């Protein structure tokens, strides 16, 4: 016989191990500060150590990776 909707939903919940969560406050703030530093350097000409025209994309990438890791890993 066909499985009920509830049984199917329970099976899907138990077989799915990957779950996203909201990042912690410190993880979010770190990502946000790095992103804002890059944007200020790019659009307002702020002089920030280790950030120049060649490293702005890398800075944004670091901010995104920190945020993504905060969503994927339980310990961040």
DSSP 9-65: HHHHHHH------PPPHHHHHHHHHHHHHHHHHHHS----TT-STTTHHHHHHHHHH
**Tens digits of per-residue pLDDT, 9-43?**
665 555 556 677 888 899 999 999 999 999 998 89
Cβ burial of 73 (10 Å; 0-12, 13-18, 19+) is: exposed
**62 pLDDT more than 60:** yes
Does the pTM exceed 0.75? no
* Whole-number average pLDDT of the chain: 81
Q: pLDDT exceeding 70 applies to what percent of the chain?
A: 74
Q: pLDDT exceeding 90 applies to what percent of the chain?
A: 38
Rounded CA separation 51/43 (Å): 13
Rounded CA separation 66/60 (Å): 10
């Amino acid at each position: 016989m066909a499985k009920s909707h509830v049984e199917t939903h329970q099976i899907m919940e138990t077989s799915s191990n990957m779950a996203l969560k909201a990042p912690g406050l410190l993880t979010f703030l770190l990502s946000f500060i790095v992103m804002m530093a890059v944007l200020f350097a790019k659009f307002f000409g702020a002089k920030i150590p280790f950030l120049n025209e060649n490293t702005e994309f890398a800075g944004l990438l670091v901010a995104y990776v920190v945020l993504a890791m905060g969503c994927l890993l339980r310990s961040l």
